[in-house]
Structures are given as C-alpha cells and as structure tokens.
Amino acid sequence: MTAALDIQRRCKAALAALAARFNATPDKLGIGVGIHSGQVEIGEFSTVRSDFTAIGGTVNMAARLESQAAAGEILVSSESAALAPGLVTKSTRSLALKGIEHPVLAHVLIAGG
C-alpha cells in the first residue's frame, strides 16, 4: 500500500502540469490503483513471445479494483485491508466487478494515511 501511495504522490505534480498544459480539470486526470493480496502464478506463459507475467484470481481482482478506481483513488480489497490493521480509509464501497461472482467490499485509502 506504501507503493500505491508513492505512485499517487509522484504522479501528482506531473498530472497537474498536464492539466494546466491542456486546460483540463485536474480532478479528471489521475492514476487509479487497485490492491488485492493472495497467491499468483508467475512465469513465461506464451509460446510465441517471451512474456514474463503474473496470472490468476488475485491478479484479476486487483485489475478489476483498479478499473473502478477514480483518478487519484486507491481501492483496497478487504483481504488486503485485513493485512494492514493500521490502514486509514475514508470509506468503503460495495462493487460489482466483471468476472467476480459476489459483490466486493473495497476500502478507499486516504492518500495522507
């Protein structure tokens, strides 16, 4: 979760500069991050190209959370939130995610937390 906070912090100035350059609303630009914890399979899964990647349900859940994260938002699964008892969240949301059978409770991480 520290990495997600660092991503948000490092991108803030660059995104503000882009917003100013293109006369855009700064809150419309940003990086959304999704975090989920669990086991993954890693390796080269392509016979055509040499692609080293991670696959599995954990990767899918993180990607689905990221797809629902607004600009500047970090969505954390309940499983990941449980691993970080000091995590400060501003709210939770129940999300219907593509390919996930049941609604997922996502914690919205506070950037300053």
Q: Domain total for the chain?
A: 1
Mean predicted lDDT score pLDDT of the chain: 87
What is the tens place of the pLDDT at every residue in 83-110? 988 887 889 999 999 989 999 999 998 7
More confident residue, 2 or 103: 103
pTM of the predicted structure, to 2 decimals: 0.83
Local confidence band at 111 (pLDDT 50, 70, 90 cut-offs): low
The residue segments making up the domain with residue 58 are 2-109
Question: What single DSSP character describes residue 72?
Answer: T
State the pLDDT at residue 48: 79
Residue with the two structure tokens 């016979």: 47
CA-to-CA separations, 108 to 9, 16, 23, 80, 87, in angstroms, rounded: 16, 22, 28, 12, 10
- CATH code for the domain of 84: 3.30.70.1230
Tokens for 59, please give them: 């990767």
